[in-house]
Structure 1
Amino acid sequence: MASVGIPAEGVPGRVGAWWRAGGRGGSAAYVVAPVGVDAGAVMQRVHEDVPGSVLVDATGLTAEQVMQQALAALGVDLSADERDDWRFALGSWPEERLLLVVNAHRAGPTRRSHEAERLVTSTLPRLARGELGVVVHVVPELLPAHVYPRAVFRLSAAAVEHPPAVKESVAVRALTLAEPRFAPVPVWARLVTALTGEAASEDELAEFARERPEILRLGPLGVSFVDEGLAETLRQEVESAELSSVHEQLAGWLMRSASDFRHPEGWAEGGAVGLYAATGLAMHAVQAGTFDEVLRDGRVIANLPQTALMDAARSISFIISGNTAAADAIHLWGWGVTPRHQAEWASWLHLMALSRDDLEFASAVATSGVTLPWQVKWAHWRPPGGYHVRYLRAGRFAALAEVRWQGRPAIAGLQQRTVDGAQQPFVSIWDVETGERVAHPWEHDEIPAEHRADLTWPASPGSGSVAPSRVQELFASSSPRRNKRAFMLPCEPLAVGEVVVFAGDLGLIVIKPADGVNISDFGASQQPLSWDYADAGPCSPIDSPAPSHEDLIALFGEDALYPIEVEDLPDRLTHAATRELLLDFGLPYMMEGAMGLFPFGSWGIGILDELPSWPGGIEPVPESGPFFQIGKWMGGKLVIDGPTGHVLRVPAEPGQDRLAGLPSAHSLVDFLTMVALYVIGLRTRSILPPASSEREQITYWVLRALVEVDETGGDQPAWSYVLHND
Structure 2
Amino acid sequence: MPRDDLDTIFCSPAAVLAAGPTELAELLDLPDSGGGVGREVFAQASAVLAGAEVPRTEFASWLHFAAKVLGHHAYADAVAAAEPAMPWRTVWAWWRPVGAYRAKPNMSGDACAELFGTPDGRVLVKASALWTEERWFDAATGEPAPEPAEGEATPLDEDYDPDGPFLFDPEVKDGLHAPETWEEPIPLGGGRFLLVEARGIAVVETGTATPAGGAGASDGAERASWGTGEPWFAGPTANESPLDAARLDAVFGADWVIRVPAERQPEALTHRPTRELIATAGLPAWWAAGVASFKAAWTESGPQDPQPDADGLLQLGTFEWGYDGGPVLVHPQTGAVSMVRDGDGPFPLARDTETFVRLLEAVYRFMGACWDPWPGEPGHGAFLREVAELEPLSVDTDEPGGEAWEHLFAGITELSVWGY
Specify the TM-score bucket, using the shorter chain as the normaliser: 0.5 to 0.7
Match for residue 694 of structure 1 among 352, 356, 378: 378
**Number of residue pairs matched by the alignment:** 368
- Residue 497 of structure 1, CA deviation: 2.8
Q: 1:380 to 1:725 in 2, by over 3 A?
A: closer
Name the CA distance, whole Å, in 1 between partners of 2:195 and 2:243.
Answer: 29
Name the CA distance, whole Å, in 1 between partners of 2:124 and 2:253.
Answer: 23
Match for residue 499 of structure 1 among 192, 211, 214: 192
User: Is the 2:313–2:329 contact (alpha carbons within 8 Å) kept by the matching residues of 1?
Assistant: no
Matched with 1:417 is 130
- Residue 610 of structure 1, CA deviation: 6.6
- Residue 368 of structure 1, CA deviation: 2.4
Q: Which amino acid aligns with 2:269?
A: L
Name the CA distance, whole Å, in 2 between partners of 1:632 and 1:297.
Answer: 51
TM-score (norm 2): 0.68
Matched with 2:270 is 574
1:597 aligns with 2:294: yes
Match for residue 47 of structure 2 among 331, 338, 349: 331
Name the CA distance, whole Å, in 2 between partners of 1:404 and 1:348.
Answer: 30
State the secondary structure of the residue aligned to 2:65. Answer: helix
Matched with 1:229 is none
1:631 aligns with 2:318: yes
Matched with 1:551 is 247
- Residue 382 of structure 1, CA deviation: 1.2
Matched with 2:165 is none
User: Is the 2:107–2:129 contact (alpha carbons within 8 Å) kept by the matching residues of 1?
Assistant: no
- Residue 696 of structure 1, CA deviation: 3.8
Give a deviation string over 1:480-523, Cα, whole Å, max 9, x none: xx99x96233444222334222222221111122233555599x
Give a deviation string over 1:104-140, Cα, whole Å, max 9, x none: xxxxxxxxxxxxxxxxxxxxxxxxxxxxxxxxxxxxx
Matched with 1:37 is none
State the secondary structure of the residue aligned to 2:122. Answer: strand
Match for residue 455 of structure 1 among 153, 156, 167: 153
Q: Which amino acid aligns with 1:455?
A: A
Matched with 1:385 is 99
State the secondary structure of the residue aligned to 1:661. Answer: strand
1:509 aligns with 2:202: yes
- Residue 312 of structure 1, CA deviation: 2.1
Q: 1:540 to 1:510 in 2, by over 3 A?
A: farther
- Residue 636 of structure 1, CA deviation: 6.3
1:612 aligns with 2:309: yes
Matched with 1:301 is 16
Q: Percent identity?
A: 18
Give a deviation string over 1:387-438, Cα, whole Å, max 9, x none: 234x4278877444443234142233352132xxxxx8x6543212321221
Matched with 2:174 is none
Name the CA distance, whole Å, in 1 between partners of 2:157 and 2:234.
Answer: 34
Indicate the RMSD between aligned Cα atoms, in angstroms.
Answer: 4.7
The answer for unaligned runs of 5 or more in structure 1 is: 1-285, 419-423, 441-447, 457-467, 469-473, 523-527, 615-624
Name the CA distance, whole Å, in 2 between partners of 1:411 and 1:302.
Answer: 35
Give a deviation string over 1:264-303, Cα, whole Å, max 9, x none: xxxxxxxxxxxxxxxxxxxxxx489834542333221133
Name the CA distance, whole Å, in 2 between partners of 1:580 and 1:320.
Answer: 36
State the secondary structure of the residue aligned to 1:552. Answer: helix
Matched with 2:68 is 354
Give a deviation string over 1:646-702, Cα, whole Å, max 9, x none: 33455768799xxx626x25344x54344323311123322336x654334532564
1:50-69 maps to which residues of 2 (within 5 A)? Answer: none
User: Is the 2:115–2:126 contact (alpha carbons within 8 Å) kept by the matching residues of 1?
Assistant: no
Name the CA distance, whole Å, in 2 between partners of 1:653 and 1:304.
Answer: 65
User: Is the 2:288–2:294 contact (alpha carbons within 8 Å) kept by the matching residues of 1?
Assistant: yes
Going by fraction, where is helix more abundant, 1 or 2?
1
Name the CA distance, whole Å, in 2 between partners of 1:289 and 1:433.
Answer: 39
Q: Which amino acid aligns with 1:678?
A: V
Matched with 1:407 is 120
1:340 aligns with 2:60: no
Give a deviation string over 1:451-507, Cα, whole Å, max 9, x none: 41x213xxxxxxxxxxx5xxxxx565479xx99x96233444222334222222221
Q: Which amino acid aligns with 2:313?
A: P
Q: Which amino acid aligns with 2:255?
A: D
Matched with 1:50 is none
State the secondary structure of the residue aligned to 1:353. Answer: helix
User: Is the 2:108–2:368 contact (alpha carbons within 8 Å) kept by the matching residues of 1?
Assistant: no
- Residue 362 of structure 1, CA deviation: 2.7
Q: 1:568 to 1:646 in 2, by over 3 A?
A: same
- Residue 565 of structure 1, CA deviation: 9.6
1:257-336 maps to which residues of 2 (within 5 A)? Answer: 286=1, 290-291=5-6, 293-305=8-20, 308-309=23-24, 311-316=25-30, 324-334=40-50
Q: Which amino acid aligns with 2:293?
A: G
Match for residue 439 of structure 1 among 105, 127, 146: 146
Matched with 1:666 is 352
Q: 1:307 to 1:320 in 2, by over 3 A?
A: farther
Q: 1:579 to 1:491 in 2, by over 3 A?
A: farther
Bigger shift: 678-687 or 632-641?
632-641
Q: 1:574 to 1:288 in 2, by over 3 A?
A: closer
TM-score (norm 1): 0.42
The answer for unaligned runs of 5 or more in structure 2 is: 162-168, 171-177, 219-223, 396-401, 415-420
- Residue 349 of structure 1, CA deviation: 0.9
Give a deviation string over 1:123-162, Cα, whole Å, max 9, x none: xxxxxxxxxxxxxxxxxxxxxxxxxxxxxxxxxxxxxxxx
Give a deviation string over 1:228-255, Cα, whole Å, max 9, x none: xxxxxxxxxxxxxxxxxxxxxxxxxxxx
Name the CA distance, whole Å, in 1 between partners of 2:18 and 2:340.
Answer: 56
- Residue 381 of structure 1, CA deviation: 0.9
1:646 aligns with 2:336: yes
Name the CA distance, whole Å, in 1 between partners of 2:84 and 2:160.
Answer: 36
Matched with 2:368 is 683
Max Rg structure: 1
Name the CA distance, whole Å, in 2 between partners of 1:318 and 1:653.
Answer: 48
- Residue 328 of structure 1, CA deviation: 1.9
Q: Which amino acid aligns with 1:432?
A: A
Name the CA distance, whole Å, in 2 between partners of 1:673 and 1:655.
Answer: 22
Name the CA distance, whole Å, in 1 between partners of 2:160 and 2:234.
Answer: 33
User: Is the 1:578–1:667 contact (alpha carbons within 8 Å) kept by the matching residues of 2?
Assistant: yes
Matched with 1:560 is 256
User: Is the 1:575–1:642 contact (alpha carbons within 8 Å) kept by the matching residues of 2?
Assistant: yes
Name the CA distance, whole Å, in 2 between partners of 1:432 and 1:540.
Answer: 30
1:183-262 maps to which residues of 2 (within 5 A)? Answer: none
Give a deviation string over 1:581-639, Cα, whole Å, max 9, x none: 546644321122675331258xxxx946876366xxxxxxxxxx424242328856532
Q: 1:297 to 1:577 in 2, by over 3 A?
A: same
Q: 1:610 to 1:686 in 2, by over 3 A?
A: farther
Matched with 1:97 is none
- Residue 555 of structure 1, CA deviation: 3.0
Name the CA distance, whole Å, in 2 between partners of 1:519 and 1:608.
Answer: 65
Q: Which amino acid aligns with 2:368?
A: R
Higher relative contact order (CA 8 A, sep 6+): 2
Q: 1:567 to 1:297 in 2, by over 3 A?
A: closer
